[in-house]
């Protein structure tokens, strides 16, 4: 390949640049090569694209780099069905890539060459359809504006058969704005430089004079002649002779090759006029004139059939390569990155659970190294998207254990408070549940032989083993008792015992209140 990069990728060993895989070359030019490529996006998204890759010897040249970036910027401003779309530009690892939509088809130059080799001419209706579509795309480029709506004043400067792509869908598209002239370009052509293919240049372009869109109209006029006749407009022994004919405006008309093509003579003559002001003022004006010549343009289906018939073998081979690339890239697509592990902090109270200790400076609970692997799996950080079937039951068990421990701690604290103050009793505001809990957990008091024991009996719960059997008369209310609540029972202290009325009742082993008669007077 002419000017091909040193490290040529292939279907078996693609070159990976950023999120693109670059495969075999399908076209080559002076400063870049066009490759088949695959966009490898997220979530399994894949797309076949065409990647224009700047040759390695130009990748570090500021002038060529600026020209390449200009092409990407200009092409991205043109949105039209008859223009190949620009999708992305990549600068990475000494590579400069222009990513475009992949169009299954063939360039007009190769189609004309195949028709000439087959000794046949292209049907005029097909020619009208192809060139009319190219003119509409070219007009869209001429009318393109920047982000602020200011016209770019774009001139393609290389309207040749190589830069018109005819798809198998029957649509012609303009491509390659690499040498286009526009306002605000990063790259500025040096004085005397000539950009484009000489055989399709207008006289003012050869003379390095200021250009307008009519220079592109001139190039399309030459392409129209060559597509109709499958012959060169300026056939000379060398390039110098061809340039001389262009300057002297020695053009040829289609009827000189085939008389039946005379209706096209007027359009070719006007498009290739020596003076710019005598040409069609716009590509759109030329397209309208071509479509009204009296030869109806072929439909997209007719153009598609013609392209497949003329270049079917090449298209089938390229389709096979594309299909293999798509299959291989699907099979070998890189795995999606695993989600970042997210550690879920446990509550502060979980520090009381045996076997869990805080990790240093993290607040996240971890398991000591001495624990079993099963326990370590419970405290490991949770990764979103991964199943943890055994973790939920263990977590529930840990929470239940925590509740039981907290309940026991509260019961111990209540008992300690009751024992620490002899003048007050835990049963000052009794409930059946709290009394039963305190009785079950508190140690049995030691009875003193002194009379104070009666006082202690009033203020402390009596153990079940030492509780005296209440007198039968205690069930009936005393005649001196002023309490009107018949559901409450009174209790008579032993004879000679000192009575304390703070509180005026005692609690028996069943948690019932017994009012002291002396305290009710």
Instruction: Please check whether residue 383 is in contact with residue 403, taking contact to mean a CB–CB distance below 8 angstroms.
Output: no
CB-side exposure of 238: number of CA atoms within 13 Å?
A: 1
Helices (H), 190-264: 203-206, 214-229, 239-247
At residue 406, the 3 state secondary structure works out as helix
Computed over its alpha carbons, how large is the radius of gyration of the chain? Answer: 49
Rounded-to-integer distance, Cα 82 and Cα 84, Å: 7
Rounded to the nearest 5°, which phi and psi values hold at 16? -100, 120
Q: Which of 12, 88, 146, 158 is an active site residue?
A: 158
Distance CA 155, CA 150 (A): 15
Give which of 5, 34, 67 is closest to 162, Cα–Cα.
34
Judged by phi (left if over 0) then psi (alpha if -120 to 50, else beta), residue 208 lies in: left
Q: Give yes or no for a cis peptide into 503 (omega within 30° of 0).
A: yes
How far apart are alpha carbons 462 and 458 in whole angstroms? 9
* CA end-to-end distance (rounded Å), the chain: 122
Could you give the dihedral angle defined by the CA atoms of residues 39, 42, 44 and 45, in that order, rounded to the nearest 10 degrees?
-40
In order of 185, 348, 394, the CA distances from 341 in angstroms are 48, 21, 21
Q: Up-side HSE of residue 374: CA atoms within 13 Å toward CB?
A: 5
d(CA 143, CA 141): 5
Check residue 211 and report its DSSP letter. Answer: -
Q: Is 158 a catalytic residue?
A: yes
Q: Counting every residue, how long is the chain?
A: 521
Q: Residue 288: exposed, middle, or buried by beta-carbon count in 10 A (0-12, 13-18, 19+)? A: middle
Contacts of 451 (CB under 8 A, 6+ apart): 496, 497, 498
Rounded CA separation 378/394 (Å): 7
Q: How many CB atoms lie within 10 A of CB 232?
A: 13
Which residues participate in catalysis according to the annotation? 158
């Amino acid at each position: 390949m002419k000017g091909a990069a040193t490290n040529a990728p292939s279907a078996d060993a693609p070159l990976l640049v950023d999120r693109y895989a670059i495969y075999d070359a399908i076209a080559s030019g002076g400063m870049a090569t066009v490759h088949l490529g695959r966009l490898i996006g997220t979530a399994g998204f894949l797309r076949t694209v065409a990647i224009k890759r700047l040759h390695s010897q130009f990748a570090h040249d500021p002038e060529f780099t600026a020209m390449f970036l200009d092409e990407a910027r200009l092409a991205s401003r043109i949105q039209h069905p008859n223009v190949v779309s620009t999708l992305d530009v990549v600068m990475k690892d000494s590579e400069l890539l222009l990513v475009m939509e992949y169009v299954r088809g063939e360039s007009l130059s190769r189609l004309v060459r195949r028709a000439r080799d087959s000794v046949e001419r292209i049907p005029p209706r097909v020619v009208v359809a192809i060139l009319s579509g190219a003119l509409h795309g070219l007009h869209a480029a001429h009318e393109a504006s920047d982000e602020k709506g200011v016209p770019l004043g774009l001139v393609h400067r290389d309207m040749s058969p190589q830069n018109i792509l005819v798809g198998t869908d029957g649509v012609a598209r303009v491509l390659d704005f690499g040498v286009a002239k526009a306002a605000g370009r990063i790259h500025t052509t040096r004085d005397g430089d000539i950009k484009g293919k000489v055989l399709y240049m207008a006289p003012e372009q050869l003379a390095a004079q200021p250009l307008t869109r009519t220079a592109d109209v001139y190039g399309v006029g030459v392409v129209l002649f060559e597509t109709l006749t499958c012959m060169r407009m300026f056939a000379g022994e060398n390039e110098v002779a061809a340039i001389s004919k262009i300057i002297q405006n020695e053009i040829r008309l289609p009827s000189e090759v085939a008389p039946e093509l005379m209706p096209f003579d007027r359009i070719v003559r006007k498009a290739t006029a020596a003076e710019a002001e005598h040409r069609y003022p716009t590509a759109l004006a030329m397209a309208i004139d071509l479509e009204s010549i009296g030869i109806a343009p072929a439909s997209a289906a007719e153009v598609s059939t013609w392209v497949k018939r003329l270049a079917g073998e090449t298209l089938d081979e390229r389709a096979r390569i594309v299909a293999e690339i798509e299959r291989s890239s699907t099979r070998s697509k890189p795995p999606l990155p695993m989600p970042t592990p997210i550690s879920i902090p446990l509550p502060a109270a979980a520090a009381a659970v045996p076997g869990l200790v805080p990790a240093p400076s993290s607040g996240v609970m971890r398991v000591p190294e001495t624990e079993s692997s099963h326990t370590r799996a419970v405290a490991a950080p949770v990764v979103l998207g991964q199943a943890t079937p055994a973790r939920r039951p263990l977590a529930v068990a840990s929470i239940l254990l925590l509740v039981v421990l907290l309940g026991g701690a509260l019961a111990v604290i209540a008992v300690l408070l009751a024992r620490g103050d002899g003048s007050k009793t835990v049963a000052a505001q009794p409930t059946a549940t709290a009394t039963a809990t305190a009785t079950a957990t508190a140690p049995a008091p030691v009875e003193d032989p002194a009379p104070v024991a009666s006082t202690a009996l009033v203020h402390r719960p009596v153990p079940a083993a030492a509780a005296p059997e209440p007198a039968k008369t205690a069930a009936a209310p005393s005649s001196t008792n002023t309490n009107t609540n018949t559901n409450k029972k009174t209790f008579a202290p032993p004879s000679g015992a000192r009575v304390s009325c703070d509180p005026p009742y005692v609690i028996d082993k069943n948690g019932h209140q017994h009012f002291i008669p002396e305290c009710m007077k």
